[in-house]
Chain A
Amino acid sequence: MIPLQVVAIVLVGLGGLAVVAARDPLRQALVLGVYGLTLVILFVVLQAPDVALSELVVSTVAFPFILFTALAKMRDRE
């Protein structure tokens, strides 16, 4: 257990709490991107670089894009 792993684990724990604590969905999508980046750090430290690459694409591009699309679709018909 190297110290970098402990730091990454603590970061991911705090990030998950921050995502849940953000109540506004638009703000929560941004916090989710940062949380995905901390997960990427954890995966690299856990010797899984391929998972880290796919998580990088999914959590910082794909999932916020889907969330923003859904929120925009529900906003413009108000």
Chain B
Amino acid sequence: MSFLPYALAAWLFFVGLYGIVTSRHLVHLVVCLGVMQSSTYVLLLAIGYRTGKKAPIFTSGVPTKVGAVDPVVQALTLTDVVVSVVASALILALVIEIWKRSGKLCRCSAPPCSAQPAISCPHGSTTSSRLRSRQP
């Protein structure tokens, strides 16, 4: 196995990290976190891969003569895929709570969102003022 899948895992990790650092929108940040998590799938599968071996599915009950790639890391990857979407759902629920409380979704804290017309921010300060006025 060459270095290419490992390089892909590192590439996906740093691309996702770049997206998280430069993100202006909280939902965009969650999706970039998903890209970062997908680097772990590639890393795990690259560790278990053996050149020329088949998938670890034995229909006859006994391993074939060709041999199979490592099924343990594939089970780990399967768990990783399911857990990552659950974690993303949890973070999205937190994002909805943040939006309910502050009324905005962008991470520009010092200047208000409406002061930066170049960045698309559909939920400006008007929503937060309306929410605030609704509260007793």
Residues of A at the B interface (CB closer than 8 Å) are: 1, 5-6, 9, 12-13, 16-17, 19-20, 23-25, 28-29, 32, 35, 39, 42-43, 46-51, 54-55, 58, 62-63, 66-67, 70-71, 73-75, 78
Contact = CB atoms under 8 A, between A and B. Distances in A.
A19 B57 CA distance: 33
A9 B5 contact: yes
Contacts, number: 119
Contacts of A66: 85, 88-89, 92
A19 B12 CA distance: 11
Helix, strand, loop or mixed for chain B's interface? helix
B74 A48 contact: yes
A47 B35 contact: no
B49 A46 contact: yes
